[in-house]
Structure 1
């Protein structure tokens, strides 16, 4: 990994086996194999939209680890700073995809390869690139292990020293950590990030405000220069310093698989921002990417390329 990277991200990528839509796991006879990880979805999404991206993480020296790296490389995401560990396998999850809008998930990840990420991996990644425009982290990674927590803190600190824009998505996962711990981690990071993403069901982890517009405005006073509230089918709200909150509606789409929509939104938003788009267009690209994911199977398979998003996103694309 060398030269300029538009987006650097770090975290865990898991192997996935999922049932066909409408098929309970207990009676399924076939499973669809793929890979999934919040940060990897963002890296793939911005890459499809014409930006360079790289992922830092740890996988096992097993076939699932090979599949993870193959999928990322096939999408032209840089993986030269990924590390393979020999003594534990890559994490895995089973998706019981009973209906398009309901999926239950069983994780097999605790203590496995993804939890081995550490601050040294982050330092090596930053040393390997000449310049990074954006760093994207989520609340998932600090919950995996103490070394992963340290890796996120190190990444944010190095990014601040280099003048790199830091994006943070709360991405709360109840299977990994308590709301109290997630609130503590978010508070630890809030004053160090430039762009904050949160779902409207995560706002209580950040503020006492319950109205999404009021919450977004109040969070600007705590460090971020840009706050985005993801509202699922209802769309999204974003506000920057010195501006009024801007809101867009979600796209009408027949749901096939809702998992990965939030990370797809982040990919579209960050890609548009990097390209100099105005706030309305950033939100339009985000909601379009989310709709493309919801309408297809898998976390990232349906993410659009640049030509498709320019055809589908509204309002018309405007760059500075």
Structure 2
């Protein structure tokens, strides 16, 4: 197994109209969650990915498991809950560059995950464990899930990749979010923050100071996303480098770009490329998905990714 990831995926209802959600009359049903987004992105690029989660014993859970399995992701450690439902959320495309999300995940099946659901054989043998700051926000039982996954990864020589993925709507408080996210950064080998998340964690600083703050907590490698400018790359003891982003003429849906970035970075590292090359692949993945409505619908296969990175385009008439 190349990458194991743990976290909640929800049923997403995306309106077929733009504007305030109150005026939407029809929706498309999709599935989205940071960790499964990354797993699907990796699978489409030819890597082996495993997603660990818990779903309701309901139609949404059935449809989601079938969909993610169909994307080539190993779901053999996904469990079902007869009492708690599969979580749901809605997107709202208010206007260009203003996309909002509304979560209905309280007491969801995934929030009932416990450390007992994390088995050593599910993580042992993987190259990377990918985790995010969303899972611990779901409650104390999910925090125990994170702790056990991290412990098993360290015990089995699996490198830990952490995306803070700050979602303040689901944390009890900003203080708790900062405390726990900093703790997970300290446990991780690679961190993938955004600039806004760095400011939330450390206050207003310049970009180089943000990168150093992540190293000070314990991270060996930092790839900090800086929007359309690309990302900053830093390995402990080396100078910070800027890796440029890819131009996108029109952003359709920015949600999921960070997960695509993570998938691109992990894919490149699995291919044996340098951290700088991994950042470039991550930037390309993030750019590509913003041009398509949906978290995973725009994730490319390897041929499409390389074509985009090389400035090419697909033409069915060729």
| TM-score using structure 1 length | 0.92
1:176 is aligned to 170
2:315 is aligned to none
Do the aligned partners of residues 276 and 98 (structure 1) sit closer, same or farther apart at CA in structure 2, a change above 3 Å counting?
A: same
2:314 is aligned to none
RMSD: 1.6
The secondary structure found in structure 2 opposite 1:98 is strand
1:239 is aligned to 234
User: Is this contact kept in 2: 1:197–1:229, CA < 8 A?
Assistant: yes
1:208 Cα shift? Answer: 5.0
User: 1:98-137 counterparts in 2 under 5 A?
Assistant: 98-122=94-118, 124=119, 126-128=120-122, 131-137=125-131
Equivalent position to 2:196, from 189, 193, 201: 201
Equivalent position to 1:148, from 142, 145, 150: 142
**Deviation >4 Å, runs of 4+:** none
1:120 Cα shift? Answer: 1.1
1:160 aligns with 2:146: no
Paired residues in the alignment total: 309
2:90 is aligned to 94
State which drifts further: 58-67 or 129-138.
129-138
1:218 Cα shift? Answer: 3.5
1:303 Cα shift? Answer: 0.7
1:192 Cα shift? Answer: 1.3
Q: Distance in 1 between matches of 2:190 and 2:124?
A: 22
| CA deviation profile, 1:134-190 (whole Å, cap 9, x unmatched) | 000011000101111100111011101111000011111011113211111022222
Equivalent position to 2:211, from 190, 193, 216: 216
2:182 is aligned to 187
State which drifts further: 101-110 or 139-148.
101-110
Listed as ranges, the gaps of 5+ residues in structure 2 are 312-318
1:302 is aligned to 298
Q: Distance in 1 between matches of 2:122 and 2:133?
A: 25
Equivalent position to 1:44, from 35, 40, 43: 40
Listed as ranges, the gaps of 5+ residues in structure 1 are 316-320
User: Is this contact kept in 1: 2:124–2:158, CA < 8 A?
Assistant: no
Q: Distance in 2 between matches of 1:100 and 1:284?
A: 26
1:205 Cα shift? Answer: 4.3
Q: Distance in 2 between matches of 1:68 and 1:210?
A: 41
Q: Distance in 1 between matches of 2:134 and 2:95?
A: 25
State which drifts further: 29-38 or 185-194.
185-194
